[in-house]
Amino acid sequence: MSQTHDYDLLVIGAGSAGVRAARVAAGHGARVAIVEEHRVGGTCVIRGCVPKKLLVYGAHFAEDLEDAQRFGWLMAQARFDWPTLRDNVLAEVARLSNIYTQTLSSHHVAVLNGHAVIEGPHEARVANQSISARVILVATGARPHIPDIAGSQYAITSNDVFHLQELPRRVVIAGGGYIANEFAGIFNEFGSQVTLINRSDQILRGYDEQIRDRLLQITMSKGIRVLLKARLEQIAKNDDGGLTVKLGDGIAVQCDAFLCATGRVPNTEHLGLENAGVAVDDKGAITVDDFSRTSCPSIYAVGDVTNRVQLTPVAIREGHAFADTVFGNTPTKIDYDCIPSAVFSHPPLGGVGLTEAQARNRLGDVKVYTSDFRPMKNVLAGRDERALYKIVVDASNDKIVGAHMIGPDAPEILQMLAVAVKAGLKKAQLDDCVAIHPTMAEELVLLK
């Protein structure tokens, strides 16, 4: 590698994408430094996927403990203690952050603490220190969007939930995406009175209509109030310390916390991108080519800051592909087709490939196979909640083009079905597979 710069690669942002890129580039022999102004680990580890999933696990015990009595487990009245879960989750986050830091150290990646500002195609300033690099990679991620309305300073975001001193008795959640629906389920299971408001007439845009409708039905049956086509106008502080959330048509909702989950914004401000001629789109995301190169030839960008697909596994692959392309002499593009995704709601759901509507628009003649059933555990527990599994098949060749499901452990089951969709397997091949009985997953090879 060239010795004309301080480093061969300077990574800005030590989240999932940046850490993977730094580690792989160092493995290819590059001299690498990574800059982080907060904690190593990024959104997923520190304030996203990991701590949220731990809260989901904690929330599930509410129903599990209730159901356990139908299975013969007699116990005294259970009591939930929020500080115990919160502190244990934060301790696990700290442990994982340390592991990420150790991984960088073991790969001889220099970790620089501070805010980085790009000063040119090969230059950046970190804490008043000028650093040069042959290649700069921007992996600064994204942050929660807060709408520009009166009283927005009273809103909290998903970042703040993990640090709440106490659980709100009443919480209003704005948004219809995965973050809003996940936290609606979490707060509801913890005993909060939850109101979910969304400006459109549907939740989880992009997921299969039948699946998201099923979640909406179950969500409301659990006691969560859902207000669709609700226009957020103002958040006002009450004399008693509570909040009044004012919506269109004169609707007002009282709450103790207002959680804003209305999307995420790429972190591109105050980076000095203009100093190197790095172009951004109208949403502030860095524009890149198929190899993650920006409009400045020596600067690349990966992960949520590019707003391609905001998923941690995708960001990791982008970071890895960048390192292989630039430092491994192996040009690598990411295949964004058939990316599976899940929502860890209550119950969870997931999907991969084309929805039924997408398949009909694109292919015309399709076949849809479903199984609408009550899981065995729910039957004995006396819980009416039903699971729904669905696959979409191209009628012309029997190829499975989409799979969608909602029910207990749906994301765990969907992961393997995603392999079948990605591989282009046919419905007949599912039918040829012997079922594992009794399981929920067996429904996938028995679909009618």
Annotated catalytic sites, by residue?
A: 437
Contact (CB, 8 A) for 284 and 266: yes
The alpha helices in 274-409, defined as continuous H runs, are: 312-327, 356-363, 376-381
Residues 142, 44: Cα–Cα separation, whole Å: 11
Q: Which of 291-302 are b and which e, b meaning 16 or more Cβ less than 10 Å from the residue's Cβ?
A: ebbbebeebbbb
| Of residues 248, 220, 234, the one with CA closest to residue 346 | 220
Closest CA to 305 of 27, 48, 62, 42: 42
Quickly count: other Cβ atoms within 10 Å of residue 33's Cβ: 23
Helices (H), 107-242: 158-161, 178-189, 209-221
For residue 138, the tally of other CB atoms under 10 A from its CB is 32
List the one residue out of 107, 122, 132 whose CA is nearest residue 19.
107
Handedness of CA 375, 378, 382, 385 (dihedral sign): negative
Contact assessment for residue 69 and residue 380, using Cβ atoms and an 8 Å cutoff: no
With beta carbons less than 8 A apart as the criterion, state whether 234 and 151 touch.
Answer: yes
Taking only Cα atoms into account, the Rg of the chain, rounded to an integer number of angstroms, comes to 24
Distance CA 338, CA 5 (A): 40
CA distances from 106 to 22, 23, 110, 395 (A): 12, 9, 10, 52
> Among positive and negative, which fits the CA dihedral 78, 82, 83, 89?
positive
Q: Give the Cβ contact number of residue 263 at 10 Å.
A: 16
Q: Where are the alpha helices (DSSP H) in 364-433?
A: 376-381, 410-423, 427-431
Cα 9 vs. chain centroid, distance in angstroms? 28
